[in-house]
Amino acid sequence: MKSYTVQMLGVAAIAMGLSTGAYAQDAKSINGRWDATLTTKTGVVPFRLDISGEGVSLKGTLYNGWDPFETTTGARFDNGKLVLNIDHYLTKITAGLKDGQLDGQVIAQSRTEGAVYGFHATRYVAPVASADAPQVAGSWEIPLDKPTAKGEKTQRLIVQQRGAEVSASILRVDGDTGALNGTYKDGEWVLSHFDGSRPGVMELSLNKDGALEIKQEGGRAGSMLIAWREEVAQAKGIAAPEDYTTHTTMRDPNEVFQYKFPDVNGKVLSNEDPKFKDKVVLAIVTGTWCPNCHDEAQYLVQLYAKYHDKGLEIVALDFEEPEQQDDLARVHAFIKQYNVPYTYLIAGAPAEMWEKLPQAVNLNTWPATIFVGRDGKVKHIHTGFASPASGVFNDQLKQEFTSTIETLLAQKQEITRAALQ
């Protein structure tokens, strides 16, 4: 695998070769686009960072593929020192500005452990890409050497392409990796990603036999995979990816789905509470440490705005690490960042999920969305969340969610009509 450090040093050298006067002028301000890197245990992860505003309006913006994704919850720049807080991920970037470059560290908190990464950034320089990039856009399937802990034999790779630039995401049954982005050069794409969580690097190269070779660093690192276009995978008899709508089921579909947990203010609510009775309810198994749960929450806010007045309620059954449950700092930041209007119940620690929700069978993804009808019984379960990085699979998910919600909401009218006859 090629050295990302060497590549980034090359970018830095180009940046230092800019006009001295223009560069010095830029260096007086923190604002603008930066080529940033994290130094992890497995290598260097390049990512794009935009900084804008000043004083209390100062903010940093991180990207998911081509699109702005996360903005900081707080930022300051004083005496050459930059601090960027991403509280809804418990991530902080601190760096000093010297000679037009930023150097410091990133402190990030995951579900299992904290991490400290080296941080470096230089002024953005547009990458130089080859003009002969092959076409690799579309959906690919990745056969695995052995099933995952969730029983997956095959995963998906979704590639979106703009000339020599590619955005790609691996979609698992529990959600996708986010969009890793990069350009084609010297026969391969080098893609990378950091959105406040899940740093990673991926190399893609197209083999002569039509297979797409995938090398990964960072995040779920250390693997080399081969992907085939969907029609080729089918012809080869490769097992289909897990079905997101049948992976998790209910022990007894005739049982009322029950839950009883405190909300973020300590008030205990249950499925019997008046706010949930006779409503269509989306019960979301979630945790604010989970990047895919961040992706889903932004979509759930849209669904709530569209369907709440028609009888939809959403309740998050939230599982946080024990050390987070004292002050729920990340939960409160998460709710504020995404303007979450629906109820958050603190169900316990992640390891307690199966104990707290025993009615669900094969519940092992974050998130899992449980669709509950007006009678309190589960009508549908969707595991994981395919974010916009998953392209057509995000479109399919939205169609599935909206059609299921509308069907369940319509059942009240049917019941009322039958009672009047």
Q: Is the domain of 350 the same as that of 376? A: yes
pLDDT in tens, 55-74: 889 999 999 988 888 899 99
Question: In terms of pLDDT, which residue wins out, 251 or 220?
Answer: 251
For a pLDDT cut of 90, what percent of the chain falls above it? 78
Q: In this predicted model, what pLDDT tens digit does every residue of 94-114 receive, in sequence order? A: 999 999 999 999 998 766 566
- The answer to whether 343 and 316 are in contact (CB under 8 A) is yes
The chain-wide mean pLDDT, for the chain, equals 89
For residues 170 and 230, state if they share a domain.
yes
pLDDT score recorded for residue 25: 36
Give a yes or no: residue 244 inside a domain. Answer: no
Residue 133 within a domain: no
Which of 16-30, 54-68, 209-223, 362-376 is the most confident on average?
362-376
Residue 216 has pLDDT above 90, yes or no: no
pLDDT average, residue stretch 176-200: 92
Give one DSSP letter per residue of 270-325, joined into a string. ETTSTTTTTSEEEEEEE-TT-HHHHHHHHHHHHHHHHHGGGTEEEEEEEE--GGGT
410 and 288 in a common domain: yes
Q: What residues are paired with 180 via a beta bridge?
A: 168
Whether residue 411 sits in one domain with residue 299: yes
pLDDT at 18: 36
Last residue of a domain, one of 210, 235, 260: 235
Same domain membership, residue 326 and residue 281:
yes
326-363 per-position pLDDT tens digit = 899 999 999 999 999 999 999 999 999 999 999 999 99
* Model pLDDT, residue 113: 62
pLDDT tens digit string along 390-416? Answer: 999 999 999 999 999 999 999 875 554
Residue 21 pLDDT > 50: no
Determine the structural domain holding residue 398 and report its residue range: 249-420
Tell whether 147 and 69 lie within a shared domain: no
Query: Is there a single domain that holds both residue 209 and residue 268?
Result: no
* CATH at residue 166: 2.40.128.20
The whole-number pLDDT of residue 222 equals: 52
Q: Which of 96, 123, 150 is the last residue of a domain?
A: 123
CATH value at residue 111: 2.40.128.120
Neighbours of 255 (CB within 10 A): 12
CA distance 172 to 159: 14
Tally of CA atoms within 13 A in the half-sphere of 1 that contains its CB: 22
Please give the residue that has the higher pLDDT: either 352 or 6: 352
Minimum mean pLDDT range among 14-23, 65-74, 192-201, 291-300: 14-23
Residue 243 counted as domain residue: no
Q: Which of 134, 216, 144 is nearest to 180 (CA)?
A: 216
Residue 221 has pLDDT above 80, yes or no: no
- C-alpha 196, offset from chain centre: 10
Average pLDDT over residues 377-385: 98
pTM over 0.85: yes
Domain boundary residue, one of 61, 91, 123: 123
Same domain, 263 and 409: yes
**Number of domains comprising the chain:** 3
The CATH number covering residue 323 comes to 3.40.30.10
- Residue 87 near residue 93, CB atoms below 8 Å: no
Mean pLDDT, residues 202-229: 85
> Is residue 241 a part of any domain in this protein?
no
Q: In terms of domains, do 41 and 170 share one? A: no
146 lies in the same domain as 220: yes
Q: Could you tell me if residue 327 is inside a domain? A: yes
Q: What is the mean pLDDT of residues 311-324?
A: 96
Say whether both 11 and 48 belong to one domain.
Answer: yes
- Specify the 3-state DSSP secondary structure of 135: coil
Is 259 inside any structural domain? yes
Band (pLDDT 50/70/90 cuts) for residue 4 is very low
- Cα 109 to Cα 87: distance, rounded to the nearest angstrom: 10
* 229 assigned to some structural domain: yes
Asked whether the predicted pLDDT for residue 170 surpasses 70, the reply is yes
- Whether 107 is covered by a domain: the verdict is yes
- Indicate whether 27 and 105 sit together in one domain: yes
pLDDT in tens, 116-161: 999 999 999 988 878 889 999 999 999 999 999 999 999 999 999 9
